Structure 1
Amino acid sequence: MSTANAPTRWRSVLPHLDQPLPPDRTPHPQGATGIQVSLPLELVRQSVQPKEYWDIPAEVADAYRVFRPTPLWRARAFERAVDARVPIYVKYEGGNISGSHKLNTALAQAYYYARAGVRELVTGTGAGQWGTALAAACALFGMKCTVFMVGTSLHHKPHRGTLMRTLGAQVHASPSNLTDIARQSTTGVNSLSLAIGEAVEYAARTDGAAFCIGSGETYSILHQSVIGLEAADQLTALDARIDTVVGCVGAGSNFGGIALPFFAAATAAGTRPPHLVAAESATTPKLTRGTYAYDRTDATGTGPMEAMYTIGSSYPIPDAHAAGLRFHGAAKVLSAMRHRDQITATAVGQVQALQAGRLFTRGEMVLPAPESGHALAAAARLAGAGTDTAHGPLRAQRGVLVCVSGHGYLDLSAYQQLMDGELTDDSPDPQALRAAVRGLNRIQQPTRPAPATAPPPRHTLATPHEATATAGSRP
């Protein structure tokens, strides 16, 4: 097992992209109004400026040192269990209070919002890892926290709610009776998009509160770069060689955190980056079966439309043990890179994911979250007989690095259902997928070069320390 020093800077991939990201679009006609999402200015800067390194604030770095650096090891028992031809290295992010990588950005965001004078952070969460991370960060920085958690997930994992409440958060099952968007919902569907929409609406009408989200936004992926930066140092210390990096994808912060620092390092050195493989849920196959188009990021439809690979925000995602992977779209950074063949993707069903998680548990004595099981299943394919991806057969030749983004101790019911033979995998209906993206503004060609300067942010949030501006919402 290898450790390293915790990074003192985050590393951005933006300076290393060959083209700029497509600009966000407002969903409202000229003069129309809607709920607005405000961000501290530093988070806006981190989203748009092509600056490579960003200093981690001292208060955030101190909080990181409680659980970072996180361990990396060669998973030899798992290699034997899956008949791997090449080494498999695991970067484990489940050893903090939230049980996942989500705490890396939750601490950073709570710090910036607190400096901006915000007294309460409001969010939506699927499996509860992000809600738990934000509750912990708010407790550390003396802020209130309100969480809307997907109702079916909260029902299956009530102890997630207990942990968030122990940390001082208010937790509401979504759909709730607290928001207009939930009351007006005609489907009654339990979805992350709706939970986020409830959080956006609730924050907009609550004095001193701000909506906060932690997965697909460019600044949250930047904060997660500590994962890949540490992993690169740890692999060097082990004299290990890899040519493939795997992470699971909901909106994209875990995969972006483990993979994009390797892309940035390779492009900066003028060398070929490793294969970057995003493992997504087969129930929510945005990168493998979705459309690259402008789509909304939450059920309110009031935030900016973002360019993303999507299966449509209206698509009724089937219930499955994929937890945080059950979001309809991928981060705009990852979507742009997918469109340019800089990353690839593979879809994994819940049965295969949990089977991989069980093999990993029995060999490595670490219980992975179901989301991480998707990454482990993909890593096993890549290190073993190979896999068919959207880009054809892909096979690791030297070694695989995989991020186990969180622990599964609050997901034991999923493993019990697996062992009881109660789980199946149903492929999404192609007609339903087509219907959900019908009418979206598709992106057919790579984007044009960026203007000399980025357009100014559209809105402001008063702060005693610095000016702030707004950006879109995302899980």
Structure 2
Amino acid sequence: MATRVFLSEDEMPRQWYNIAADLPSPLQPPLGPDGNPVTPEMLAPIFPMSLIEQEVSQERWIDIPEEVLSILAKWRPSPLHRAYSLEKFLGTPARIYYKNESVSPAGSHKPNTAVAQAYYNKQAGVKRLTTETGAGQWGSALAFASAQFGLECKVFMVRISFDQKPYRKLMMQTWGADCVPSPSTETQAGRDVLAKYPDTPGSLGIAISEAVEAAVTDPRGETKYSLGSVLNHVMLHQTVIGLETRKQLEKFGEKLPDIVIGCAGGGSNFAGLAFPFAHEKINGADIEIIPVEPSSCPTLTRGPFAYDLGDFSGMTPLLPMHTLGHNFVAPPIHAGGLRYHGMAPLVSQAVVEGLLNPRSIHQLECYEAAMTFARTEGIIVAPETSHAVAGAIQEATRAREEGKEKVIVFNLSGHGLVDLKGYEAYMNGELHDYEFPQEELDENLKALEGFPRAETVKSGRW
């Protein structure tokens, strides 16, 4: 019985999969302040044109440059594991598989897009990248990727995570990046927030505002902004995960999974695993695809599908997405990478279409699941990843109760070896569940008044 299945470097995907080509309803465009669609030229101060072209592409398959493949090959293809010990512990007839993205240099899935973005920026003559990061996984990944291409890197890290996760900051510094807590005094956006909320824990929306401002105000014009989730080209780059998983499942003797699960914050690791299987579902396969999010940040499960800003200060276009309001500041839960107020437009549209079945889980259940996983499979997962583990355990338990054999695949999006403070807090009884208050959500959504409405037409096929 194989425990892990590897692919050779020759079996790495040579193309990314673009789900925008297959969605039953076309993705609604990003809009500018005037309510008109954003043009590629309007995005040029922020992104290189090659990434803008991928952002708006309707091509189903997009070639991966050889220079990108050569760096991805440092750790890809990543292994697919069969979770025999977890299955035995749960007494389930389900067969549980997990795609292990923790083997990358940064310890997560994030370098899959960081390397691609650094490459395209280098090709465009960019000298410096700015970005935001929540838990620090994206900042670490972009710092690593920037070092591969000789780029400077500036990271605005959400203040609560900057304090909670000092080793992420040190990882970024080791790869040559400059990491500062957000909100900071280095940008007007940061100074404005600090003047009004001096004790704020920060948010990804605020950090995005700072990173975008730092890019567009560079007097030399040598700086671009890089985003680790949410946008179409980021989802695209991550599909190597699901494309590899399909081949590996075949080597395990499985045709297709019954259930596909990933944690969901901005949407990148979830989409990376799920979108290639959503392609199968669009073409008739019977697959349940579940994005799992924190109950304290219930974007997909409680947020409306609407046009909203991608950042706190209004420096980004309006995007069609499930949102809690761009002024949302999440409680300081330890899954810092899942504290974003919105969801990727492609993931949101797939939910509208009925392709996905989102759910939310409280952090205590997630940590309990992570402890179970560590004591059976041996891997200490990131707090974000624990949501996918918890979802997989829920589904495996349901399979046991129903007496049904099912094939469950989830994305182990990152390890938690630099996130052990959260585990310590859990074991010391210092963590608590938090239900996001409806009145606070209603207040946040008032900020959307006057924005264009997003269409929510469903195909009715699923």
- TM (normalized to structure 1)? 0.88
Q: Which has the higher contact order (CA 8 A, sep 6+)?
A: 1
Corresponding position: 1:187 with 2:197:
yes
Q: Where do residues 147-162 of structure 1 align in structure 2 (5 Å cutoff)?
A: 147-162=155-170
Cα deviation for residue 349 of structure 1 reads 1.3
Bigger proportion of residues as helix: 2
Q: Which runs of 4+ in 1 moved over 4 A?
A: 34-37, 393-397
Corresponding position: 1:418 with 2:421:
no
Q: Residues 263 and 273 of structure 1 are in contact (CA less than 8 Å); yes or no, is this contact kept in structure 2?
A: no
Cα deviation for residue 35 of structure 1 reads 9.9
Cα deviation for residue 313 of structure 1 reads 1.2
* Residue 212 of structure 1, aligned match among 209, 222, 226: 226
Corresponding position: 1:15 with 2:21:
yes
CA change 1:143–1:315 in 2 (3 A) is same
Deviations along 1:373-414, one digit per CA (max 9) or x if unpaired, are 001101111121279xxxxx9998521100010010011011
Partner of 1:3: 6
Task: Give the distance between the partners of 1:394 and 1:315, measured in 2 at CA.
Answer: 39
Partner of 2:241: 227
Partner of 1:84: 92
* Amino acid aligned to 1:187: Y
Cα deviation for residue 27 of structure 1 reads 2.2
Partner of 2:271: 256
Task: Give the distance between the partners of 2:133 and 2:45, measured in 1 at CA.
Answer: 17
Cα deviation for residue 445 of structure 1 reads 3.3
Corresponding position: 1:287 with 2:300:
yes
* Residue 333 of structure 2, aligned match among 291, 304, 320: 320
Q: Residues 102 and 133 of structure 1 are in contact (CA less than 8 Å); yes or no, is this contact kept in structure 2?
A: yes
Q: Residues 84 and 380 of structure 1 are in contact (CA less than 8 Å); yes or no, is this contact kept in structure 2?
A: no
CA change 1:180–1:320 in 2 (3 A) is same
CA change 1:359–1:37 in 2 (3 A) is farther
* Amino acid aligned to 1:255: F
Partner of 1:458: none
Partner of 1:357: 370
Corresponding position: 1:304 with 2:312:
no
Task: Give the distance between the partners of 1:125 and 1:67, measured in 2 at CA.
Answer: 22
Deviations along 1:181-207, one digit per CA (max 9) or x if unpaired, are 111111242111111111111111123
Q: Residues 212 and 315 of structure 2 are in contact (CA less than 8 Å); yes or no, is this contact kept in structure 1?
A: no
Secondary structure, in 3 states, of the residue corresponding to 2:321?
strand
Cα deviation for residue 315 of structure 1 reads 2.1
Corresponding position: 1:70 with 2:78:
yes
- TM (normalized to structure 2)? 0.91
Secondary structure, in 3 states, of the residue corresponding to 1:416?
helix
Partner of 1:103: 111
Corresponding position: 1:46 with 2:59:
no
Corresponding position: 1:122 with 2:144:
no
CA change 1:271–1:445 in 2 (3 A) is closer
Structure 2 spans left out of the alignment, 5+ residues: 37-41
How big is the alpha-carbon RMSD for the aligned residues of Structure 1 and Structure 2? 2.1
CA change 1:273–1:255 in 2 (3 A) is farther
Count of matched residue positions in the alignment of Structure 1 and Structure 2: 438
Q: Where do residues 352-391 of structure 1 align in structure 2 (5 Å cutoff)?
A: 352-385=365-398
* Residue 360 of structure 2, aligned match among 347, 361, 366: 347
Structure 1 spans left out of the alignment, 5+ residues: 388-392, 449-475
Task: Give the distance between the partners of 1:20 and 1:228, measured in 2 at CA.
Answer: 22
Cα deviation for residue 365 of structure 1 reads 1.2
Q: Residues 283 and 318 of structure 1 are in contact (CA less than 8 Å); yes or no, is this contact kept in structure 2?
A: yes
Task: Give the distance between the partners of 1:113 and 1:335, measured in 2 at CA.
Answer: 27
Deviations along 1:137-174, one digit per CA (max 9) or x if unpaired, are 11000110000101110111111111100100011111
Q: Where do residues 234-249 of structure 1 align in structure 2 (5 Å cutoff)?
A: 234-240=248-254, 241-249=256-264
Partner of 1:201: 213
Task: Give the distance between the partners of 1:242 and 1:217, measured in 2 at CA.
Answer: 27
* Amino acid aligned to 1:308: M
Secondary structure, in 3 states, of the residue corresponding to 1:149?
strand
Task: Give the distance between the partners of 1:227 and 1:159, measured in 2 at CA.
Answer: 26
Secondary structure, in 3 states, of the residue corresponding to 1:197?
helix
Task: Give the distance between the partners of 1:371 and 1:258, measured in 2 at CA.
Answer: 15
Cα deviation for residue 26 of structure 1 reads 0.8
* Residue 445 of structure 1, aligned match among 423, 443, 456: 456
Q: Residues 258 and 408 of structure 2 are in contact (CA less than 8 Å); yes or no, is this contact kept in structure 1?
A: yes
Q: Residues 353 and 458 of structure 2 are in contact (CA less than 8 Å); yes or no, is this contact kept in structure 1?
A: no
Which stretch shows the higher mean deviation, 226-235 or 198-207? 198-207
Partner of 2:350: 337
Deviations along 1:244-266, one digit per CA (max 9) or x if unpaired, are 10001111010000000111244
Task: Give the distance between the partners of 2:225 and 2:184, measured in 1 at CA.
Answer: 17
Cα deviation for residue 422 of structure 1 reads 1.0
Task: Give the distance between the partners of 2:329 and 2:181, measured in 1 at CA.
Answer: 18
Q: Residues 36 and 303 of structure 1 are in contact (CA less than 8 Å); yes or no, is this contact kept in structure 2?
A: no
* Amino acid aligned to 2:266: A
Corresponding position: 1:399 with 2:407:
yes
Q: Residues 25 and 306 of structure 1 are in contact (CA less than 8 Å); yes or no, is this contact kept in structure 2?
A: yes
Q: Residues 27 and 303 of structure 1 are in contact (CA less than 8 Å); yes or no, is this contact kept in structure 2?
A: no
Task: Give the distance between the partners of 2:43 and 2:22, measured in 1 at CA.
Answer: 33
Partner of 1:473: none
Matched residues, percent identical? 37
Task: Give the distance between the partners of 2:302 and 2:107, measured in 1 at CA.
Answer: 30
Deviations along 1:312-348, one digit per CA (max 9) or x if unpaired, are 1112311101110000010000111111111110101
